């Protein structure tokens, strides 16, 4: 089973998890200026669409709302530890996987197998959960596969 990489509010603002509130505020101001839909220029957009700008703008606002408030920030940190930090515990190159037709597999510590298909890779999935235990890995070196 594969999961798409989750959005991390800290990564969204480009701040460290220990960043003080002032840093969160200044990072937010910087990002929100950069990604404001008014800044979108069809001729010079670095391959981003107006929709990308809108989405990014909304994610930055959401990240700021959550992280600037000490209570919601603490709640987020707790769920982040479970949803984001824990699963992405290890990186494994796709070259270390065993290939069987269109499926790649790699042995988990628990004895079960991580599996990712070429279809998963083509769709942009890069992390795999073990079907048996809670461990997940990030699969790297995927660019040569598809
Ligand atoms: Zn396992």
Which DSSP symbol is given to 82? I
- Ligand 1 ion local residues (Cβ < 5 A): 108, 110, 112, 130, 132-133, 135
- Between the two ends of the chain, the Cα-to-Cα distance in Å is 19
In a domain, 77, yes or no: no
Q: Give the Å distance between the CA of 71 and the centre of ligand 1.
A: 34
Q: Give the Å distance between the CA of 126 and the centre of ligand 1.
A: 17
Q: Give the Å distance between the CA of 110 and the centre of ligand 1.
A: 4
Q: Give the Å distance between the CA of 115 and the centre of ligand 1.
A: 11
* Claim to verify: residue 131 and residue 103 sit in the same structural domain: yes
In a domain, 2, yes or no: no
Instruction: Map residue 139 onto helix, strand or coil.
Output: strand
Q: Quote the pLDDT of residue 6.
A: 52
Q: Quote the pLDDT of residue 39.
A: 87
Q: Give the Å distance between the CA of 77 and the centre of ligand 1.
A: 25
- Say if pTM beats, i.e. exceeds, 0.75: no
Q: CB atoms < 10 A from the CB of 15, how many?
A: 20
Residue 37, domain CATH: 1.10.287.110
Residues pairing with 92 in the sheet: 139
The tens-digit pLDDT sequence of the chain (146 residues) is: 333 335 789 989 999 889 999 999 999 999 999 999 998 887 765 678 899 899 999 999 999 999 999 999 998 888 776 665 544 458 899 999 999 999 999 988 778 899 999 999 998 888 998 888 878 889 999 887 75
* Claim to verify: residue 64 and residue 98 sit in the same structural domain: no
Phi, psi of 124 (to 5 degrees): 100, 10
Q: Show the tokens assigned to 14.
A: 């480009």
How many domains are there within the chain? 2
**Phi-psi label, residue 135: left if phi above 0, alpha if psi -120 to 50, beta otherwise:** beta
């Amino acid at each position: 089973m594969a999961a798409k990489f989750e959005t991390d509010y800290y990564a969204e603002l480009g701040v460290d998890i220990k960043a003080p509130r002032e840093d969160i505020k200044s990072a937010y101001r910087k990002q929100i200026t950069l990604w404001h839909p008014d800044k979108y220029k069809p001729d010079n957009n670095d391959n981003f669409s107006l929709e990308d700008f809108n989405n990014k703008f909304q994610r930055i606002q959401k990240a700021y709302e959550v992280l600037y408030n000490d209570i919601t920030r603490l709640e987020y940190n707790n769920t982040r530890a479970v949803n984001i930090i824990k699963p992405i515990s290890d990186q494994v190159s796709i070259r270390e996987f065993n290939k069987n037709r269109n499926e790649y597999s790699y042995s988990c510590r628990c004895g079960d197998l991580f599996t990712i298909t070429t279809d998963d890779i083509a769709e942009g999935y890069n992390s795999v959960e073990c079907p048996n235990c809670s461990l997940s890995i990030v699969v790297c070196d995927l660019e040569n596969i598809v």
